[in-house]
Each structure stands twice: as structure tokens, then as C-alpha cells.
A and B are shown apart, each in its own frame.
Chain A
Amino acid sequence: MPTNVIMPQLGESVMEGTLSKWLKQEGERVNEFEPLMEVNTDKVDTEIPAPASGILLKWLVTEGTTVKAGTVLAIIGQASDGASLDTSTPAPVAAPTPPPAPSAKRDLGFISPVVAKMADEHKLDLQLIPGTGQGGRITKRDVLDYLEKMTVGVAPAPVALPAPVPAPTPAPTPTPIAQSPTRSVQSSILSSSATEDSFIPVVGMRKSIAEHMVKSEHTAPHVTTVMEADLSRVLTHLDAHKEQFARDGVTLTLTAYFVSATVAALKAVPIVNSQWADDKIILKREVNMGMAVALDEGLIVPVIKNADGKSLLGLAREINDLAKRARAKALKPDEVSGGTFTITNHGVSGSLVATPIINQPQTGILGVGIMQKRVVVINDAIAIRPMAYISLTFDHRILDGAVADKFLMTVKKALESWA
């Protein structure tokens, strides 16, 4: 009996996901719980394990396709389930739809009366129709979509059409690219661009980042204030405690100090730990610190929950863990939500000063630039100190410059007076 691989619901509010990569080829043997594919949602990227052992008989969804939770993604079974399965010549994966014809019989689930009737009327093989209903069942709309695509697919390509009427003017020959009518928008983009251009589908994390950035810029009037912090005392402390932390299995980094100093500032100036709600400003009781982590394909912000209740050791340990799992795509949806403030350490890639975009619905975001030894004047003497620019980008609806500066000054003082 073949087993359907179903797109799981990856979080309470996560209704769809994009299949980013197949980790197993068709015809390949898989063991239960072995990673089968990578899926990304607007919150996290994750691997989907095989629900059963057997042979991956068929992919029903191609890479880059976004599907609803509950959609059947693949079929796992025994070789006998797909007697005619030809693994030696896998069909090249082309357009995302329609899916390749599965030669293995999948469990279709409940067939509603109207689907049965339409299949009969149009002589359809329901095995060929992807289901998007509950548990992957085929809905009336799925059949209608399939019929529409069939009609488009059967239509002769434009190049094969003899001109029915002589063209009054010598019109340019029709474009030889056979595009289905439903793709006309895409084809016009394609034909208007240089042929060397390639396209990256905007899905998953990229799409989510794009939407959030635009929304934030349109929502909050952003203002940025910048100060400079002397990190001498922080570095002294770091050097003195690095080994002690390592004995506890924790790598102590500057980030832990920035988080700790920021938490102290949020406590001192609580209006920064807040949210705009049109007729009121919500002061957040919890201090949940978001921490931007750069990934190859984008950016993710895991959240240190209740950061105000944690020691430097506790913060460092959690930062280690969240950053590691962020890069391994092993964060849970709840670990990337609920933040009340965010820190972005843009200095890691060499940036001196940046004006980041606020992570909605928060009020501010702290940017930390690269630490450099700089010449500074102290008590009218020239000194060399490890300096970093720290910036606060804030929502001017909630904060004014003086309050924002008070907050940033508290961060600066906490770092400079570290003991």
C-alpha cells in the first residue's frame, strides 16, 4: 500500500510552504524519518522526514512550488506498487504544473460525487490530478484547473498555425516561443528582456522578507540616531571570562554583551519596548530580544525569550544555540516570533554604520557596527581604543529624538562601564 507524503502544517499560523529542494530522487530508497525534502515557509526552513520506509515512487510537486498544508507531495511505496515505474529515464522536471503523471497508484482518498461525475464525463484519470483539499483529496476546483490546463496543453503551438487570413501588412513572424495563453504576462516579461537574463523565483524567505520590509517602511516613520561606544572594558571582561565560559560549553562573543546592555537600556527606558496600536501604545511586559542572523539565502531573526531574566552566561548559551540552529534550519516557528526588540550586528560583514528597517510591530532596532581600533581623545590625550558605532533606528510615532538618545546612551554607558 503506497503512502502519501503530505505537506504538514509547520506552525499554528503557517498555512502553506514552498518545496525548496528534493533530497531524494524518484526511485531512490528511503527510510522512515529520513529527510525527504526541504520546505520553506514565511517563518522557517525545515526538512520533512519520510513518513514510511520504501521507494520514493513519484514526486507530485516540483521544486519552487508553493502548496497548502495537506497537499500530497510525493508517494512512497514498494517497487511492486509502481510496476511500470521507469527509474532509468526520469522525466526532466520542467514547468511546475501539471505534475508528471504518477505511474504508481496513489491513495486518492474520498472522491466526492461531483468529482466522480466530472471524471466520468471527461474520461479523466484521477491519478493524474493533484489534490489540494482536506488530506490531499481532489476537489471540484482541482478538476476544473486540470481541465483548463489540459485544454491549454492540447492547443497546437502558435508556430504550427497556418495563417488563416493573409496579413494586410508584413507582420513580423510570431514569436517562436510557444507560451500558453495563461502565461502571457510572463512571456512578455521574458521577451522584453535580454535572453541572457535568468530569473529567481520569489518564494518563501525572500518573499517574506520583501513583504515585511515594504510593510515596515510604509508603516513606521524611521529615524536613526548614532553613537560611538568604547568597548575596552567589554573586551577586558571577555578575555578574562572566555575560558571560564568555555568550560561550561559556551562560546562567549560580543553579541552577548550587546544583548545584555540593550536589555538594561530597555528596562531603563521601557517605552522603547513597546508597540504602536493606532489609539494606544502597548508597553510590553516581556523583553524578548530578536537577533538577526544572516543566512546564505536571506535573514532570520530568532528570539531570546524573557532576555531580562538571563545572566550573561545564559544569554551567551542561548545565542550560541539559536544561531547554530538558525544556520542549520532547525528553528521552530515559535522561536522566530514574539520578539519585542531586535538587534542586528551588521558589523560582522564590515559595516560601520547602517540604518536597518524596524522589525514590525516593534518600536526600534539596534544596529551594531564593526569594532575597530580608532584614535580618540580622552582627557585631552590621544588614545587608541576599540570603538564601534551603535545606532538606534526607531519609530518616530512612538519615540522622539531625546528619548531615543536616552535609550542609546544607556546602551553606550552599559558597554563602556562594564565590570
Chain B
Amino acid sequence: MPELTLVDAIHQALDEELARDERVILLGQDIGARGGVFRATQGLLEKYGEKRVIDSPLAEASLVGVAIGAALAGQRPVCEIQFADALQAAFNQIVNEATRISYRSAGEWSVPLVIRAPYGGGVSGGLYHSQSVESFFAHVPGLKVVIPSNPRDAKGLLKSAVRDPGPVLFLEPKKGYRTIKGDVPEGDFTVPIGPARISRAGQQISVMAYGLMHHYCLQAAEALASENIDAEVIDLRTLYPIDQETILASVRKTGRALIVHEDNLTLGYGAEVAALIAQEAFSNLDAPIHRLAAPDVPAMPFGQAEQDWFMLNPEKIAAAIRELANY
């Protein structure tokens, strides 16, 4: 199996889906000649032509609106929003339109739309290019929210997203684009949207995360093995709908739960997971449920020192796991 970077796996999925289904089209700013701000679409304009790889104006609301129209007209559009921070500009189209058309039309219409957007910090992107926006969207029934943590899942989940009959928000950890590498099967395969994955089996504590933080949690858990701390790590992968079974089975086994995300703490995704565990696995708990997340400040700071303070890393995660394991 060839080793690919995260962004190469995404490129491969897009390329193969464009080849597989002629209804698939790509829309986004600079995705054509430029190949995308992170080069996820490099060479696809030359290969599939400007009717299928479409450069759009700098207007996220109209970009998503056009894509919704194309989806209703039978296409399979995949939008690229350059940075997840700009999804807010398309919030109305995504939430009020794309996610509700099927419900509003009693299933008569559907919007098979994928919106890809790189999210997260650690790349000195400052306030406008570092946000983690998953919680805004995971709150909306009708919209699937997917975040891969490794190249294999990125390819398999993106293919599932393209083939899904409804709208899927596909968030990509931008710091991991070239830093996270892994084996990816060649050719066509899918990873189903929905199930989480136990990426490291353990007995003592359940650590749940997604995207870049999952990558860091695995490193932290491996480092702690030498301290006889046996952590189970779960890659949530799909935030909405949530995989209750995998989460609850793990916590029922370990009795301890830590949820880690790069987004800030208050009303972040960890709150939902914690509430689920508290309600459904209360009698299995051996320690308070912990959340580890970014501080509640308005946005990612630009200065390096402040960015380091804001961002989690494997050391901070290891400290949190250690503390909870010793409770």
C-alpha cells in the first residue's frame, strides 16, 4: 500500500470520483489553474476540463447556493471553501437551505452536496485562517459532519461523502495536510460515514478525539504506555450523526472518559459527548468526565507564543490523560 499525505489522499479521492461519475463537479476559489490553495485539486482542471472543475468568485454564499442548485438539478457538486473560517459567510445557504430541503419537501428533493474546508490552527494562520467550526454545524440535524484524521479515512470518507444522498460538511485538518502520512489502499474503496474507530485498544481510560487532535492523542497514549497507563483512543471521524455505541461501549469498559478537541471548550463538541456518557453510562463511571480543549477566547491568536498557548499538543494531552488515569 503506498504511503500518502492527507492532502494527497484527498486529491486521489476527488480524482477517482470525477472519473467514476460524470455528475461529480468541483467548485471553489482558485481550484482550477491554481490547483487550490492547498493543492488538493492540482491538475484536475487539465484532466476534466472547466465544465467540471469550476473556479468560482470570492463569494462563499453564492458558491454554496450555486452548488445547491446544481445538486437539485442532478449534479454531485463538491465545493471547496478555502478556509473553514469562511463557512460562516455561507452559513445561511448551508443551514437554512441545503440541510432542510429534503425535510421541507418530505423527501421529494435531496441535496447531494459535499462542502470541503480545511480547519484548525497551528499554521500561524491567525484569526481568520485557524478556526475550528465543527460545533456550529454538528448542531444541525440534516447535515452530516465528517472529520478525517488520517489519509486512509480521508480518501474513504470523502468518497462516501460524494456518494451520500444528503449534504456533508467535510472538514480537513490543515496542519495535518502534509504532516500526517499513512498507507492508503489503491483504487476504489469507501469508509462509511457514521462509525467511529478504536485506533488504540486500552483498558484504563477512553480518550476521544477527531482530526489533528486524534493524531496527537495517539502519540500521547503511546508515550504513556511506558508509564503503565493503558489508554484506549477513539477516532470519532463522524461528528454528526454521533456513534453512540462505540463511545459508550468503550467508557463502560474503562470507566474514565477524556474528550479532546481543538475548538474552544464551552459548548464545544466535547460537551455533547460528555452529556451522552453522563446520561447513558453513569453507573459505569469511575471518574468525572474530562474535556480538554482550547481556551474560551474569541479566536486563534497570531503570535507564536500565544498560538502555542492556545493549541493543544501531545504533551498537554498526555498530562490530561495522566491526571485522569491517576484519579
Q: Which residues of A contact B (CB under 8 A)?
A: 112-117, 133-134, 139-141
Contacts and interface: CB of A to CB of B under 8 A. Distances in A.
A133 B282 CA distance: 19
5 contacts: A112-B286, A113-B282, A115-B286, A117-B283, A139-B287
B327 A133 contact: yes
A113 B327 contact: no
Contacts of B285: 112-114
A140 B326 contact: no
B284 interface: yes
Given A114-B283, A133-B326, 16 more contacts: A112-B255, A112-B286, A113-B283, A113-B284, A113-B286, A114-B285, A114-B286, A115-B286, A117-B283, A134-B326, A134-B327, A139-B286, A139-B287, A139-B327, A140-B255, A141-B204
Contacts of B287: 112, 139
A114 B327 contact: no
Contacts of A141: 204
A9 to B, nearest CB: 12
A112 B286 CA distance: 5
Interface string B251-268: 000010000000000000
Interface string B290-327: 00000000000000000000000000000000000011
Contacts of B283: 113-114, 116-117
Nearest to B256: A140
A388 to B, nearest CB: 45
Nearest to A120: B283
Contacts of A114: 255, 283-286
B45 to A, nearest CB: 48
B148 to A, nearest CB: 33
A133 B326 CA distance: 6
Nearest to A143: B286
A116 B287 CA distance: 12
A112 B288 CA distance: 9
B269 to A, nearest CB: 24
A16 to B, nearest CB: 12
**Top 9 closest A-B pairs, CB basis?**
A140-B286, A112-B286, A140-B255, A114-B286, A117-B283, A114-B255, A113-B283, A113-B285, A114-B284
Contacts of A134: 326-327
Contacts of B327: 133-134, 139
Interface string B198-237: 0000001000000000000000000000000000000000
A140 B252 CA distance: 11
A204 B287 CA distance: 31
Nearest to A142: B286
Contacts of B326: 133-134
Nearest to A134: B327
A140 B251 CA distance: 12
A66 to B, nearest CB: 14
Nearest to A138: B286
A117 B285 CA distance: 10
Residue in A114, A133, A141 whose Cβ sees the most chain B Cβ within 10 Å:
A114
B110 to A, nearest CB: 43
B247 to A, nearest CB: 16
A141 B326 CA distance: 11
A139 B282 CA distance: 15
A112 B324 CA distance: 13
A117 B286 CA distance: 10
Contacts of B286: 112-115, 139-140
A117 B255 CA distance: 12
B284 to A, nearest CB: 5
Contacts of B282: 113
A184 to B, nearest CB: 22
A205 B178 CA distance: 49
Nearest to B252: A114
Contacts of A116: 283
Contacts of A115: 286
A140 B282 CA distance: 14
A113 B288 CA distance: 10
A103 B60 CA distance: 72
Contacts of A113: 282-286
Contacts of B255: 112, 114, 140
A237 B244 CA distance: 82
A182 B327 CA distance: 27
Residue in A113, A116, A134 whose Cβ sees the most chain B Cβ within 10 Å:
A113
A293 to B, nearest CB: 32
Contacts of A112: 255, 285-287
A302 B287 CA distance: 41
A70 to B, nearest CB: 8
A114 B282 CA distance: 8
Contacts of B284: 113-114, 117
A112 B255 CA distance: 9
Residue in B282, B285, B286 whose Cβ sees the most chain A Cβ within 10 Å:
B286
B42 to A, nearest CB: 39
Nearest to B254: A140
B318 to A, nearest CB: 16
Contacts of A140: 255, 286
Nearest to B323: A134
B206 to A, nearest CB: 13
A134 B326 CA distance: 7
Nearest to A139: B286
A112 B257 CA distance: 13
A133 B323 CA distance: 11
A207 to B, nearest CB: 17
B37 to A, nearest CB: 38
A114 B326 CA distance: 16
A137 to B, nearest CB: 8
A117 to B, nearest CB: 5
Residue in A115, A133, A140 whose Cβ sees the most chain B Cβ within 10 Å:
A140
A116 B327 CA distance: 16
A132 to B, nearest CB: 9
